[in-house]
Structure 1
Amino acid sequence: MLELTNTEQVIMKCIWEIGDNVAVADLLERLKTEYGKEYARTTISVFMSYLRDKGYVTYEKRSHAYVYKPLISEQDYQKELMKRYQKTSFSGSAVEFIRAYLDSQELTAEDLKAIRELVEKKQQEVK
C-alpha cells in the first residue's frame, strides 16, 4: 500500500465518512464544513486521480460527474499504517510501540480500563 500525503489522508477520511458514490461536490462541501479547508474543484479532481493511481479509490462516470468509492476501509488503512510505523520506527517491537504510545498520551482511568480490556481480549485470542 502506497503512503498517503496529509491532504490525501483528509480526503480519504471524508470519503470514508460519506461512504460509497462520493462526488467531488460532496468532498468539497465536507472538506469545507468539517475541516475548514477550501479547495478548487480541479484540485480535488487531481487528488482523486492520485488516490485512484495509488489504489485507494475506484470511480465511475455518472451523467456529467465522476463518483468515487473507497477500495480499502478506514480500519484496514489504520491497521496497515500502524504496522508500517511499528516496523520503521520501533524495529518491529510491539512492546516499544505501545510503550511509546502510552508515554505520549494523557490517559484517563477509563482509557486505561478500556486498553486493559483490549489486551485481555487479545490474550484470549492467542490462547
Structure 2
Amino acid sequence: MEKLTIQEEQAMQVIWKTGDGNIKMFLENMDPPQPPYTTLASTVKNLEKKGLLQSRLVGNTYMYKPAITEEEYKKHFMSGVVKDYFDNSYKQLVNFFVEQKKLSPKELKDIIEMIERGGDKTREK
C-alpha cells in the first residue's frame, strides 16, 4: 500500500465517515475550508487508482466506497511509522510520547491494564 498524501488521508477520513457516496456527499461532510470540487474529484480518482476505493456508475454519477477499512489502514500506517521512526520498537514509540509529555501517568497505567487484559479495552477489570 502506497503512503498517502495529507490531502488523500483527509479525503479517506471523510469517505470512511460517510460510507458509500459521491464527490458532492464527501464535500458536504468535509470541515471548512473545503477543497474545490475538481480537486476532491482528482484526489478520489487517485485513491481509486491506489486501490483504496471502489467505484460504480449509478445513472450518470460515480458512487465510491472504501476498499479497505480505516482499521486496516491504521494498522498498516502505524506499522510503518514504528518501523521507520522507532527502530521497530513500540517501547520506543511509547517512550517518545512520555518524553514529549503527550502521555500522562494515568494514560500509561490504562495502557498497561489494556495489555494485561489482552488488548480488550471494553472488558472490565
Q: TM-score, normalised by structure 2?
A: 0.85
The secondary structure found in structure 1 opposite 2:35 is: coil
1:122 maps to 2:102:
no
CA distance in 2, matches of 1:107, 1:30: 33
User: How many residues matched?
Assistant: 119
1:58 maps to 2:57:
no
Alignment of structure 1 residues 1-127 onto 2, 5 Å? 1-19=1-19, 21-31=20-30, 35-104=31-100, 105-107=102-104, 109=106, 111-122=107-118
CA-CA distance at 1:91 after TM superposition: 1.4
Preserved CA contact (<8 Å) 2:97 2:103? no
Identity %: 27
Structure number with higher helix proportion: 1
Question: What are structure 1's unaligned runs of at least 5 residues?
Answer: none
Larger deviation: 2-11 or 99-108?
A: 99-108
CA distance in 1, matches of 2:5, 2:26: 17
The residue type paired with residue 108 of structure 2 is: L
Q: Deviations over 1:9-30 (max 9, x none)?
A: 11100011111x2110111111
Q: TM-score, normalised by structure 1?
A: 0.84
